[in-house]
Structure 1
Amino acid sequence: MNTTHLSRRCALAALGAAAFPRLRAQGARQRRPITWLVGQPAGGTTDVLTRLVARELALQLEQSMLIENRPGAAGAIALQATAKAAPDGLTLVTVSGPSLASIPRPQIARELTAVAILARGPMVLVGTMATALPPTLDGLLAAARENPGAFSYATSGTGSSQHLTGELLNQIARTRIVHVPYKGGSQAVTDVVGGQVPLGMLGITPVLPHIKAGKLRAYGVSTATRSPLLPEVPSLHEAGLSDFDADQWFVVAMPAGAPTDRVQALNAAINRALHAPEVQAGYTSAGVVLTPATAQQTTAFVARETQRWQTLAKNANLQLD
């Protein structure tokens, strides 16, 4: 288990003496840290974003933050641990999505309560330069249509946002590009760079150095608009795949049953932390954007996203084992 204490104490004059009184009073009374679980390994996008915001949250609440990485089962281990924790507002978890699984696991609005949206960001369709691939998206898709099943794409796992976005590509482009899941994004990136898998639907941050080095070709980003990290790369929508729009998102949740005032206060604190200069700089480097939302808006957002991707999985007869 990888744990890091993030404790920073300073005056809260800029926030006002009345800011977050209940949270501060509880923190002083309990003298226990907030435990924030991450279902992915240290160093990944989910982990990095969580730690950025946790540092600012510790500053605001004058309370220690304990980050625990509990990877495994596509994030389900951390979700299960959170669902079983006491609903006292001292346990948080970062939920990355969209994500679907064949085995039931804790969900927001059921075993978990949504707190806030941390960030949203695009993925990118890339191709290896180690083998001969069509240099344009139109050429690639035309070749894929002419040769169903001849091309494959790597992702960080079955049911992940990358997998679902790849299947959205198959649906809209009328292709049959075969999914190759990995247990994490790092090996997927390595194998696409090396040509073991010709294509990848992956997060921008880990592939950006390889794109700049000329080892990977970027065909398009998954969101409706371009990414500031890849301003010269069109969106898949812009490149001709109408209505193509998909992103990966990161949501904060806690055990169901947590007091409403605790949820609302933590939501306000997290949304304030998102605007801190260090957090904004980190988000820019990671290629994600902050999306402040109330707890209620976060719950509704996750519900819409879950319904959208469940419908796609059903229509595409996706295997999520």
Structure 2
Amino acid sequence: MIAAGFGHAAIAQEHYPTKPVTLIVPFTPGGSNDVIARVIGQRLSQIWSQPVIVDNKAGAAGSIGTDHVAKAPADGYKLLITNNNTMSINPVLLPKTPYAVARDFAQVTQLGAVPVVLVANSNVKATTVKELVALAKATPGKLTYASSGSGSPQHLSAELFKAMTGTDITHVPYKGAAPAITDMLAGQVDLQFGAINSLLPHIRTGKLRALAVGGTQRASLLADVPTMAESGLPQYDSEIWLGLAAPAGTPAAVIKRINADITKILNEPEVKEKLAEQGIETRPSTPQEMTKLVEKDTARWASVIKSAGIKAD
């Protein structure tokens, strides 16, 4: 009877999915997490011949939706769209985070990345990172940078930059990216480390000046803008990544199937193009590579949070 039970389990995994699958997005509709979930979900439903439902469960900086999946059955029918906040920052920054990443989740794959760009408003007398560092050191505390909130990826990206360059730049936190950009355009704040999809329209019109890209490779939408490494900071690495996770204990065969199908989707030219238009670069990976990315990111941001004394809003 036991052997027969295992046999039925293997058959179920081989034919996964046999019913609708839900992708939980722990943020409101419209953001990068939501965009990539809907693009991938549409293609998965075609490949699997099963409905793939995108369900937005926002709140508590992504913790509500993330915890919902942590407590879901480990059968592959409820999956989580992840990012730096939910997997690497919240567990360090928010003491009451209800889930533990290593205990509660199996990483499935990286989905993509949204490049982080360092921009300056037109009043700042610097066109390169080198010039900006010189200016900041000549006028300590005078330059300001905006973020979408204390403990946000934008905030941490700037604090990492300050630590690596030994500069004193004043943080001006906002409640969201939109008001931060509005004040930058008005010249009330000097700098910002922000997501490329939010800043690109203003870079293209010349209202904001892109000084560098935070990741280890140039952004396809800003191919003429150097990376931080090319600008003299070889150890700097900051981008907003997107991933997929399942509840811990999900059968390996199910994870393998999901990973293979999503890798295929992310390599399709039309999918790559559709996501690129939204500022998302596709980055499929193995589950092991994704696990290492989460661990590396958590260690990096934990160090920044501790050294800068960052507290959540």
TM over 0.5: yes
Q: May I ask how many residue pairs the two structures share in their alignment?
A: 297
Deviations 1:284-307 (A, max 9, x none): 223433222222221122112211
Residue pair 1:74, 1:157 contacting (<8 A) in 2 also: no
SS at structure 2 position matched to 1:99? helix
Percent identical pairs in the alignment equals 36
Q: Structure 2 matches for 1:92-241, cutoff 5 A?
A: 92-97=79-84, 98-100=88-90, 101-105=93-97, 106-129=99-122, 132-137=123-128, 138-241=130-233
Closer/same/farther in 2, CA of residues 24 and 190 from structure 1, 3 Å limit: farther
* Higher relative helix content: 2
- Quick one: which of 268, 278, 281 aligns to 2:260? 268
Q: C-alpha distance in 2, partners of 1:249/1:197?
A: 26
TM-superposed deviation, 1:135: 3.0
Q: Which runs of 4+ in 1 moved over 6 A?
A: none
CA RMSD in angstroms, aligned pairs only: 2.2
Corresponding residue number in structure 2 for 1:302: 294
Structure 1 residue runs without a partner (length 5+): 1-19
Corresponding residue number in structure 2 for 1:3: none
Aligned AA (1:67): V
Q: C-alpha distance in 2, partners of 1:57/1:312?
A: 37
Q: C-alpha distance in 1, partners of 2:17/2:131?
A: 58
1:256 matched to 2:213? The reply is no
Closer/same/farther in 2, CA of residues 308 and 155 from structure 1, 3 Å limit: same
Corresponding residue number in structure 2 for 1:40: 27
Deviations 1:179-221 (A, max 9, x none): 3333432332222222232211101111111111121111111
Residue pair 1:24, 1:61 contacting (<8 A) in 2 also: no
SS at structure 1 position matched to 2:281? coil
1:285 matched to 2:311? The reply is no
TM-superposed deviation, 1:236: 2.1
Q: C-alpha distance in 2, partners of 1:71/1:193?
A: 29
TM-superposed deviation, 1:23: 5.6
Residue pair 1:165, 1:246 contacting (<8 A) in 2 also: yes
TM-score, length-scaled by structure 2: 0.86
Q: Structure 2 matches for 1:19-58, cutoff 5 A?
A: 22=12, 25-28=15-18, 31=19, 33-58=20-45
Corresponding residue number in structure 2 for 1:73: 60
TM-superposed deviation, 1:21: 7.7
Aligned AA (2:114): G
